[in-house]
Structure 1
Amino acid sequence: MVSLKANAFTGTYGVNYGRIADNLPPPESVVTLLKAARIKNTRIYDADHSVLTAFANSGIEIIVGLGNEFLKDIAANGERAVDWIKENIEPFVPKTRIVGIAVGNEILGSTGGQDLWEALVPAVKNMYLALERLQLANSIQLSSPHSEAVFATSFPPSAGAFREEIMPYMRPLLQFFSQVGSPFYINAYPFLAYISDPTHIDVNYALFKKNPGIFDTKTKLHYDNMFMAQIDAAYAALEKVGYTKMEVIVSETGWASKGDPNEVGATLKNARTYNYNLKKLLYKKKGTPYKPHTPIKAYIFALFNENLKPGPTSERNFGLFKPDGSVAYHIGFTGINSAPSLKVRFLIFVIVYSLRLIRAYSLLLPV
C-alpha cells in the first residue's frame, strides 16, 4: 500500500467550527470571519452541505467529520463508504478544499461501547479504499481524533502509555495510519486537567504563564507548560508501541471562558490568557522539548460558543467569537462586526470635527 501524499494541515494554527447552536451566523459569514482573522485551517464535525458550499473558492482548508453514528454501517459495507464520499465529498471538490476526513471522534477510550471500538479500523480501511477508488486518496488524508482517555499514564511525559484494554484496536489503527502516512490526532486540554485537580496543578503551568514547571528525570527535559507535556506524552506512548516517526497533531485544545461553580478557572481572563499564549506559540512554528524540530500544529476549540451543547456550562463557552462575528475577547483577531479600529475612529473624529468647523464658520458669514 502506498503512502498518502495528502497533507491535511499545511499551517500550524486551525480552528474547530462546531455548530451545536441556534444563534450562529450563516456559513458564508463564517468564511468572511475566517478570512478576516487569517485562519486558513478549519475542522467541522460532519459534512454539512451548506458549509461545504459556502467554503468553495475560499482557499480555506477544511477537515470534515464522519460521525460516530455512521461507523458500524460503513465498517460492515465498503459500498456505504463509496456512497458517503460520492454524496458528501465528490460534489464539492476541488472548489472546496476538503483536505481531510476525521473518521469518528474520540472512539477509543470512550464509553460508547466495544462495538464502536471494533468498527473503527474496518470503517477507516473502507473509507480509504473508497477514496482510492474515487481517485481522492492523494488529496484527502484520513484521521481519527482521540481523547486523553486513551492513555493509562501521561505524567511525566516520558511515561506516556496507552491503556492496555484498547490496544487490540489501537495497534491495528496505528499500523494502518503508519502505512498511509496519517498523523496521530489528540484532543489535548490543559483546562480539563486543571479543573479536575486544581489543588495540585499550578494554573500558571496550564496557562503558559511563568511557573517552575516540571522536570522529566528520564529524558532530562524541562516543561514550563502542560500543553507541550501532553503532546510529548503522546509521542512517548507512540514510541512504546513502535511508531517513532508518527507526527502528533492536536485536533482540539482550548479554554472555557465560563463554567459552573465547580469548574475552577473557567473565566474570561484565563480563556484569553490561554488562547493568546497558545496562538503566539503556534505562530512561532516551535516544537516540543522532545521533538524540537517538529512544529506544533493545533486546532483551537472553538470558533463560537455553542449554546445547545449538553453538559456542564463550560461546554457552551469555548468560543473565540460571539455569534454576531465580534471577538469574544482580544487575542489579536479581527471580527467581522468588531468596533472600528483606532485609525478609523480618528478619521471619523476628524471628519465630524471638520464638519462642525465648517458649519460654525458658515454661521459667521454675512447673509
Structure 2
Amino acid sequence: MASFLFKSTIIHTFLLYVMFSSDLGYPPPFVSTLGINYGQVGNNLPPPEKVLQLFSALKITKTRIYDTNPEILKSFAQSGIEIIVTVENEMMGVVINPQQAVQWVTTHIKPYFPASRITGIAVGNEIFTMNDATLIGNVVPAMVSIHQALVQLGLDSYIQVSTANSLAVLANSYPPSAGSFRQDLMGVMSQLLQFLNATRSPFWINAYPYFAYKDDPNRIPLDYVLFNPNSGMVDPYTKLHYDNMLYAQVDAVIFAAYRMGFGGVEVRVSETGWPSKGDSNEVGATIANAEIYNKNLLRRQLTNEGTPLRPNQRLEVYLFALFNEDMKPGPTSERNYGLYEPDLTMTYNVGLSSLSSTTTAASISLTSSAGEVRH
C-alpha cells in the first residue's frame, strides 16, 4: 500500500510538472526587465531628480517605491520608467472602505498618471507574516477596493494590484515540489490567489537566499545561494535541477499556488538582494558576497532566464535596493543592501561601468571577471 501511494505521488507530481512546462493553455511568457527597489528611509539620500538621472544612465526601466511620494512621481514623469507604488500598511484600515479607496486613488495616483508610468500598486508589504489578525484580514478586501477604484476611474487596464509577501508565508519550500502555504494562512491565501487570478495580476514574493544561508551556513553551500558554479540539487519528484536557491524558492511558491488550484498565477520577485555589511552574528553579510550575488543575478536577468519549472517565462526581479538607507531600524544588514551610497558612488561593482567622470553616468555592462571589490 505504501509503495502504491509513493508511486501515485510520483506520477501525480510528474503530470503536474508536464502541465507547468507546457505552453498549451498557459499565459504567454512575460517579457520584462530588471527593476530596483528605491527605498527612502535615510536622511542623506539624493533628491529624486538626481535619482532619475542615475536610473536613466543605468538604463533601468522599472522601480518600486514604498509609498506614493509625490516628489518622486513628479520627477519621474515622462521618463518612461515603470513604477510600482505602495499603500502603506497603516492605510489598510482606511482603503478597505470603497469610497476611501476611490479617494486614495484620486489623490495618490490619478494626478500623476499617465505622465508617471505607474504600473502596479502594492497593497501593504509582508503583512501576512505579521502577528496582526485584523491587518491580515484587511489585505484582500483593501486590494479589492483599490482595484474597484481603478475600474471606476478607468485605470484598471494599466495598473495591477497585488501585495508583497515574505517567503515565510510558506510552510514548506524544500524540495520546490513540496512547496505549500502555512496552514494558518490557507484561507487568506485562497482569497488572495482568487483575486490575482481574476485580475491577471502577479503574486509578489520577497525572496532572500541570504536569510537561509545566515541561519544555516554549515548545511547550505554558499555557492548555491550566490549563483556561483556548483552541483546544485535535483528535486526528487520533478527531477528538475536547481543551481541556485532563488529559483528554487520561486518554484516552491508556484507549487504552493498550484496546490491551492491556481497554477496559472505568475510569480515575480518583488525583492531580493544581499547585505554588504552586518553584525557579528550575520554570517555572510560581506561586500564581496553582495557583489557576487547581485552581479550573478544581473547576468541571469540579461539572458532572459526563467526558473527550471517555467523556463520559457522570464522571471521578473526587483533588486533590493538602490541605496544604503541609514535610518532603517533593525540589525546592521538592514541599512546595507544598497548598490549605491547616498552620494551616488557605487557600494561595489555589479557590472555597472562608468561612462563619464560623473557618478551618475553609467551603463549596464556584462563583465567576465568578478571585478574589484569597492569599499
* TM-score computed with the length of structure 2 as normaliser: 0.86
Other-structure match for 2:75? 54
Unaligned runs of 5+ in 1: 1-8, 342-367
1:1-367 mapped onto 2 (5 Å cutoff): 11-75=32-96, 77-111=97-131, 113-334=132-353, 337-338=358-359
Q: Distance in 1 between matches of 2:263 and 2:190?
A: 14
Look up the equivalent residue of 1:83 and give its one-letter code: Q
Return 83-92 or 325-334, whichever deviates more. 325-334
Alpha-carbon distance change, 340 to 155 in structure 1, aligned in 2, over 3 angstroms:
closer
**What per-residue deviation string (whole Å, max 9, x for no partner) do you get for residues 60-100 of structure 1?**
1101000010111211x111111111111111111111111
Considering only aligned residues, what root-mean-square deviation do their CA atoms show, in Å?
1.5
SS of corresponding position for 2:127: coil
SS of corresponding position for 2:52: helix
**What per-residue deviation string (whole Å, max 9, x for no partner) do you get for residues 114-134 of structure 1?**
001110111011001100111
Q: How many residues align?
A: 331
Aligned-pair CA distance for 1:338: 2.9
Q: Distance in 1 between matches of 2:65 and 2:360?
A: 28
Q: Distance in 1 between matches of 2:360 and 2:68?
A: 33
Look up the equivalent residue of 2:330 and give its one-letter code: G
Aligned-pair CA distance for 1:334: 4.4
Aligned-pair CA distance for 1:340: 9.2
Look up the equivalent residue of 2:225 and give its one-letter code: A
Q: Distance in 1 between matches of 2:114 and 2:251?
A: 35
**What per-residue deviation string (whole Å, max 9, x for no partner) do you get for residues 167-186 of structure 1?**
11110111011001001110
Q: Distance in 2 between matches of 1:48 and 1:339?
A: 22
Q: Distance in 2 between matches of 1:146 and 1:334?
A: 33
Contact 1:157 1:229 in 2 (8 A): yes
**What per-residue deviation string (whole Å, max 9, x for no partner) do you get for residues 194-252 of structure 1?**
10111111111000112221111100111111011111111110111111111110000
Other-structure match for 2:11? none
Contact 1:121 1:172 in 2 (8 A): yes
Look up the equivalent residue of 1:246 and give its one-letter code: V
Aligned-pair CA distance for 1:110: 2.1
* TM-score computed with the length of structure 1 as normaliser: 0.88
Larger Rg: 1
Unaligned runs of 5+ in 2: 1-29, 363-375
Contact 2:54 2:361 in 1 (8 A): no
Aligned-pair CA distance for 1:12: 2.6
Structure 1 runs of 4+ with >6 Å offset: none
Identity percentage of aligned residues: 49
**What per-residue deviation string (whole Å, max 9, x for no partner) do you get for residues 247-289 of structure 1?**
1100000000000011111000000000000000011111111
Q: Distance in 1 between matches of 2:200 and 2:75?
A: 29
SS of corresponding position for 1:325: coil
Contact 2:57 2:360 in 1 (8 A): no
Other-structure match for 2:12? none
SS of corresponding position for 2:107: helix
Q: Distance in 2 between matches of 1:330 and 1:29?
A: 20
Other-structure match for 1:354? none
